[in-house]
Amino acid sequence: MYRVSSKNVVFAMDKCNTPVAEVTAGSQIVFETCDCFENQIQSQDTIARNLDWNRINPATGPIFITGAMPGDTLVVRIESIKVGSQAVMLTGPNLGVLGSSLKNNFIKILPIINGQVEFSDKIKLPICPMIGVIGTAPKTEAISCGTPGVHGGNMDSKIIGSGSTIYLPVEVPGALLAMGDLHAIMGDGEVSVCGAEVPGEVTVTVEVIKGRPFCLPVVFTKDAVYTIASDVTLDDAAVTATKNMVNMLVSKGMHEAEAISLLSLSGNVQISQIVDPLKTVRFELPMWIYNSINETKETLDAK
């Protein structure tokens, strides 16, 4: 097992980043992570304007995976996520969906006790740890860890948690995997611009698939498969996520029109986040339906 310290962080997914470790496919890695503010907020008395805003959304890594080459697919199995004992939130003017209505910055400290986030004396929420930022290096210019895209990045999808498997593109030798921005809990949309931001540890196992079996990123959970897409608008992201799911079903042998019809009956378009430079949408298909599709070509030509 490999362990990567949270002292090794990057603020952009970049082919020029120096790997902090090299591992082989099948390796298990523990990523120690900072919160999205690089642990700068320790109390509600912190003055937001004094934060170093160049140190936002650090991702631990990157990791070089031996044998991962451009055109391949990196498979990251999330074995477990451990979170710290305290989460933080910040919102304020020009932050989140309703930042235009706020006049002052607001910082809230959230104790995590007995597996619950204590929002108040009466509101205690069960933790549901997730990874906000996880991605590989793009083959062109660097992409800030605060921005989502085809490479992964700041997708802020609450389905990326313990027990899920995420498929990411390999665009540079070694893939250069990095991750961070853990949330103890987060609602779809992340409307304040924060989840329960928390440091922690993520244990993953990495594998490499030669080629690209489907459009990426894709996440498999116990109950469903998800295509994830990010774009300037939610509408465009939703269209891309839907197209990618259709393509997955077509690659398993379904006729395109049949796949579209099936998704209209059984699929769900869901919002992941609406507060990053690009908006992120996921398309959900129940796993039992995905698994029931035979990889033999079906056609509507005779109908």
Mean pLDDT of the chain: 95
Residue-number span of the structural domain to which 230 is assigned: 218-292
Q: Which two tokens stand for residue 147?
A: 């921005």
**Rounded CA gap, 201 and 197, in Å?**
13
What is the reported pLDDT for 298? Answer: 38
The CA-based dihedral angle spanning residues 99, 101, 106, 111, taken in that order and rounded to the nearest 10 degrees: -80
* pLDDT beyond 50 at 296: no
- Of 154, 174, 209, which residue constitutes the final position of a domain? 209
What is the reported pLDDT for 295? Answer: 59
278-297 average pLDDT score: 89
Same-domain check for residues 163 and 44: yes
For residue 69, tell me if it sits in a domain.
yes
Same-domain check for residues 154 and 17: yes
Same-domain check for residues 34 and 97: yes
Q: Under a CB-based contact definition with an 8 Å cutoff, are residues 182 and 240 in contact?
A: no
Same-domain check for residues 54 and 117: yes
* pLDDT beyond 80 at 297: no
146-173 average pLDDT score: 98
- Of 184, 209, 234, which residue constitutes the final position of a domain? 209
CA 147, 82, 39, 75 dihedral sign is negative
How many Cβ atoms from other residues are within 10 Å of residue 141's Cβ? 9
* pLDDT beyond 60 at 217: yes
Q: Which two tokens stand for residue 261?
A: 């019809």
pTM for the whole structure: 0.95
Crossing angle for the helix pair 256-266 and 234-251, to the nearest 10 degrees: 120
For residue 274, tell me if it sits in a domain.
yes
Burial of 136 from C-beta contacts in 10 A (0-12 / 13-18 / 19+): buried
* pLDDT beyond 60 at 302: no
Q: Residue 85: give its domain's CATH number.
A: 2.60.120.580
- Of 209, 241, 272, which residue constitutes the final position of a domain? 209
* pLDDT beyond 60 at 126: yes
* pLDDT beyond 70 at 303: no
11-15, 46-50, 146-150, 222-226: least confidently modelled range: 46-50
- pLDDT tens digit string along 36-64? 999 999 999 888 889 999 999 999 999 99
* pLDDT beyond 70 at 152: yes
